[in-house]
Structure 1
Amino acid sequence: MRYGQGVALVLAAGSLWSLMGLGLRQIEAASVWQILFWRSVGMVPVLLAFVWWRSGGQPLTTIRKVGLAGVIGGLGLVFAFAGAIYAIQTTTIANAVFLFTASPFVAAILAWVLLGERVRPWTWAAIALAVAGMYLMVREGLAMGALAGNIAALLSAAGFGAFSVALRWGKLSEMLPVSMLGGVFSALVAAGVLAVQGQPLAPSAWDIGVSTGIGALILALGMLCYTLGSRVIPAAELTLLSLIEVLLAPLWVFVFLGETASAATFAGGGVLLAAVALNAVMGARAQMAQGLAKAP
């Protein structure tokens, strides 16, 4: 796989995930933990089917091969999913979204320490530009918020960063089971929280159908693209490229549901898009230069 193909896959993943808000607007009454449970229930069979197909009917062998990297990556997704839910519940959405941009920094540091992946100068510049763009998008709603919610948002960013590093850490041709394990762990955590809170596991049939559909189509296919793209893209760049989700999410609800967004949202989104494009173009040029250098 070429670098450009990997970039296209990760951008496709972020684009799919950006439809999440549009899908969640169709939920009638389900709680966030019920949504997380049924979303995970929808995601896991789809990913398992892909693992089964790619393993030639031996999914357990492929799942065992991911080892510790798979467990850590799966647990990272639990923090990413659950932390985001708790953050949105307890702090402002602007705070949560802004703090989510910490994931490229977390991925960069972990990948450097654990994998020896050096972060290229233009990637640092693109990360800084992305943070600036995110700030422009949400600055009107930024507030101190609840400390626990802010911490949860940072844990969510750290969890997604750890998941991205785990995909690179495995060094295997097939790391899709990591995403599947994340879905299994998330379903177990959500079921546990619902039990502790005394809430029923099942909301209305409509909400179950919408949540399961989100998991099977939007989340699972996005995870598939992201995992495949991770083969050729460093962890810090993976998380940076996935921020395209934040750019597109308000656009979809504006186009299809008529929810207006401020001028600052679109201005910040433009800066964020420039950051993603900068990193993608510079990375492609670097790979092309390496290819020319190796040519006889």
Structure 2
Amino acid sequence: MTISLDHRKGLLITAIGGLTLTVDIPLIRLADGDPWTILLLRSGATLIATLAIWLIWRKLRGDAPALIPGRAGLVVAALYAGTSIAFMMAVFNTSTADLVFILAFNTMFAALLSWLLLKERPRPATLVAMAVMLLCVLVIVYDGVGTGKLLGNLLALGSSFLLASAITVTRRSGQDMGFTALVAVSAPLVIAVFMVAKTGYNVEAPWWIIFNGAVIMPVSFFCLATGPKYLSGPEVAMFYLLETVLAPIWVWMIFSEAPTAAVLAGGAVLIATLLTHSLWQLNDSRRRRAALAVRHPA
């Protein structure tokens, strides 16, 4: 009974995090400003909210994890900072559909990095999924050649790779990096302050991006980071696909930004591949646990 209740709790918490994250890009677009001003407001609001939560946690319970745990924490923070900057630049240089479909590729980047750095060799099914997803991403990126979106697509690929690198370093360190991704926005914040001082402050609706940074980012990251306490890795990973599926729909509904046929085709195959691979991992892990339970009965 306890296991069932914990599993349901994990599904609810992680679903809230995944659904919350889907409005990130629409809120950035609604703010209607230049990239550096948006980055300044979003990063500043996130940093203030994160520090407030951490200080309250520390005062009430006294067991708040370190904001940046050691050298590994510094590396992870730097990777998340690079991810944030590349992501923001990609938002303003490519379509939402291109961006979220390419960002979904971070799952396969993480598998490849784990193979190279952690010596965790992917199974044949994972290698096949990686090959299919690579072809999908190449279709999406190629569709942007000559349309002015190529730079944005390459930035999205860079953001995806940096995010996968941050996940890999976190796994290798074994440290609690719960707050590290959030306080990492301090580096983009400093750069954004410098750039805004040069180019000027420009945003039409700042309340959208302040709400995004102060509420959406902390809630989504906290819930998605809490999910693994109750769910397996493959289950949690599937909730990240919600942004890939829903963000382009919200943008399509709000801004009438319809994806091209090539992007829709590549994205559909990419999502199907990710979902199939995640479900395969989940079923395989359940079979292994069942077999282990039979061999070693309580």
Q: Pick from 75, 79, 82 the counterpart of residue 79 of structure 1.
A: 82
Q: Distance in 1 between matches of 2:129 and 2:251?
A: 26
Which residue pairs with 1:25 in the alignment? Answer: 29
Distance change >3 Å, CA 95–CA 279, structure 1 → 2: closer
Query: Is 1:276 equivalent to 2:274 in the alignment?
Result: yes
1:1-296 matches, within 5 Å, as 13-28=17-32, 30-52=33-55, 57=60, 62-63=65-66, 66-87=69-90, 100=103, 103-135=106-138, 140-143=143-146, 152-172=155-175, 174-195=176-197, 198-200=198-200, 202-203=201-202, 207-229=205-227, 242=240, 244-295=242-293, 296=297
**CA, structure 1 residues 9+131, in 2 after alignment: closer, same or farther (shift >3 Å)?**
farther
- Structure 1 unaligned regions, length at least 5: none
Distance 2:182 2:247 in 1: 24
C-alpha displacement at 1:107, in angstroms? 2.3
Q: Matched residues in 1 for 2:224 and 2:43: separation? A: 17
C-alpha spacing 1:15/1:263, structure 2 compared with 1 (3 Å): farther
Alpha-carbon separation, structure 2, partners of 1:135 and 1:11:
30
Deviation larger for 156-165 or 256-265:
256-265
Deviation, structure 1 residue 76: 0.8
Give 1:261 deviation, angstroms: 3.5
What TM-score, normalized by structure 1, do the two folds share?
A: 0.75
What letter is aligned with 1:199? Answer: T
Q: Which amino acid aligns with 2:165?
A: A
Displacement of 1:36 after TM fit? 0.9
**Aligned residues of 1:94 and 1:139 also touching (Cα < 8 A):** no
CA distance in 1, matches of 2:140, 2:93: 20
* SS class of match (2:111): helix
1:137–1:16 CA distance, 2 compared to 1 (3 A): farther
Deviations 1:272-291 (A, max 9, x none): 22122212211211221221
Q: What's the CA shift for 1:88? A: 5.4
Per the alignment, in what secondary structure is the counterpart of residue 30 of structure 2?
A: coil
Cα gap change, 1:267 to 1:86, in 2 (>3 Å):
closer
Give yes or no for contact 2:77–2:184 (8 Å, CA) kept in 1: yes
Hey, what's the Cα distance between the residues in 2 that align with 1:156 and 1:102? 10
TM-score for both structures, normalised by structure 2? 0.75
Distance 1:171-1:145 versus aligned 2 partners, 3 A rule: same
1:141–1:251 CA distance, 2 compared to 1 (3 A): same
Q: Structure 2: how far apart are the matches of 1:260 and 1:229?
A: 33
Say whether the 8 Å CA contact 1:22–1:253 is kept in structure 2.
Answer: yes
- Measure how far apart 1:39 and its partner are: 0.6
Structure 2 unaligned spans of 5+: none
Are the structure 2 counterparts of residues 61 and 163 from structure 1 closer, same or farther at C-alpha, using a change threshold of 3 Å?
Answer: same
- Aligned residues between the structures: 289
Opposite residue 255 of structure 1, the aligned amino acid is: M
Question: Aligned partners of 2:151 and 2:252: how far apart in 1?
Answer: 31
Instruction: Return closer, same or farther for 1:145/1:11 CA change in 2, 3 Å cut-off.
Output: farther
The alignment yields a C-alpha RMSD, in angstroms, of: 4.0
Distance change (3 Å), C-alpha of 1:146 and 1:210: closer
**8 Å CA contact retained: 2:15, 2:239:** yes
Tell me how far apart the structure 2 counterparts of residues 228 and 118 of structure 1 sit (CA, whole Å): 27
* Deviations 1:199-225, CA, capped at 9 Å, x for gaps: 34x545x63322111112332222223
Secondary structure (helix, strand or coil) at the match of 1:63 reads coil
In the TM superposition, residue 32 of structure 1 has moved relative to its aligned partner by 0.4
CA shift, 1:65, in A, is 6.5
Contact 2:105 2:133 in 1 (8 A): no
Q: Is the 8 A contact 1:127 1:240 kept in 2?
A: no
